[in-house]
Amino acid sequence: MGRSQAIGRGRDPRFGPEADDAGCPILHVDMDAFFASVEIRRRPELRGKAVVVGGAGPRGVVSSASYEARRYGVRSAMPGMRARALCPHAVFLPPDFAAYSAASDAVMRIFRDVTPLVEPLSLDEAFLDVAGAQRLLGRPAAIAAAIRRRVFEEQRLTCSVGVAATKFVAKLGSTRAKPDGMMVVPAGQVLDFLHPLPVDALWGVGEKAAAQLHRLGLSTVGDLARAPLSMLRGALGEASAAHLHELSWGRDPRRVVAEQEEKSIGAEMTYDTDVTDPAAIRRSLLALADKTGARLRAGGNVGRTISIKIRFADFRTVSRSRTMQTTTDVAREIFEISWALFQALGPAEPIRLVGVRVEGLAAAATASRQLTLGEPERGWREAEAAADAVAARFGRSIVGPASLLGRTDLRRTENHPHSTVVPLSDPPTPS
């Protein structure tokens, strides 16, 4: 059971948008079906339809599903084959993480217009501490409403917001408010909100822990709160018992921590069937380098260390890396080093997964770059920047390396009326 199902979506007037928000400076903002919503935004004809992002192939996993698809039981992290069985009429789309990253950046800028205390948890959710913004912008619930309005007006996306005194309760509030809603949990009514919830609404209670608690007769958060600590320790261990006991009484001392610098950017892909063909792996590395370069440029980052990750059929995983003298955000350069690392590794066993990652990040605006001998002043970087401009208008799936043309397993183009593939960074065919 997913956490949103565990918490439920019922509306209680005690916790509505007009509830008492005194002493509730913490907001948790969660975008609604984010990846699917970004896809629908640029494909309006899909509005109102069941849309699933990801899940292609027998090993594919669902990244996001529209609420129309969720009505059939489709959920993120679900195997794609299961999603297709539940909702065979859904529109399945390949993920476009560059587009999601760009949309996330725009949304996070709205948050930072309100307060510098923004703690992103992922591309589509963040905590905000608005205590310092109340004098200028009003009470927390009014700030939350303004954020929701701006996100919709400026990005044509919806979000749900929880308003509470602590991070934990604010996150539960946003989940219960979904989709496209807001919930205020008054500081004086936290236990009224928490205690009727099922125990698996608590952070740290997965399926295994929930089963152990149910065996003890503890089915709600209130049951757990009233249980002797010694009982919880016996079932969960010292650390988990103390953690869950505190949460069950609404105690969460964690502060909102402003965004930490991203340390690396990369992408991975899992094959439908294990692969041994070097040419197929080369195409995969090229597609991943293209995606990684786009994400770097979208975030205004460059990196110095390039690494690859290889997972074999027996799930054994190895990685190799190389640190350059200068930084880069160019997919061509990322690919060339990734391919060289793979060739040096020389694996002969079937491969299940490959990944490309750039580390040692710095801001592109402040990083210096020295041309190598004989390198033209304008070249791959400018070509890829032009591709970014095309992708920003029409989507990432219509532009990329020519050697991926027709490779629907790596870059699907048939879903866009203006689809084409532009030769950007084709390396020589391996000998």
> Which pair of tokens denotes residue 278?
């070097």
Q: One of 119, 125, 336, 384 is an active-site residue; which one?
A: 125
CB 310 within 8 A of CB 345: yes
Torsion sign across C-alpha atoms 113, 114, 119, 120: negative
Closest CA to 129 of 118, 139, 120: 118
Whole-angstrom Cα distance, residue 165 to residue 425?
51
The count of other CB atoms within 10 Å of the CB of residue 205 is 24
Strand partners, 28: 127, 162
Burial class (CB in 10 A: 0-12, 13-18, 19+), 40: buried
Closest CA to 251 of 227, 221, 216, 277: 221
Burial class (CB in 10 A: 0-12, 13-18, 19+), 18: exposed
246 tagged catalytic = no
CB 24 within 8 A of CB 164: yes
Rg (CA), the chain: 24
The residue whose two tokens read 């009014």 is 142
Strand partners, 160: 30
Give the residue numbers annotated as catalytic, written as ranges: 125
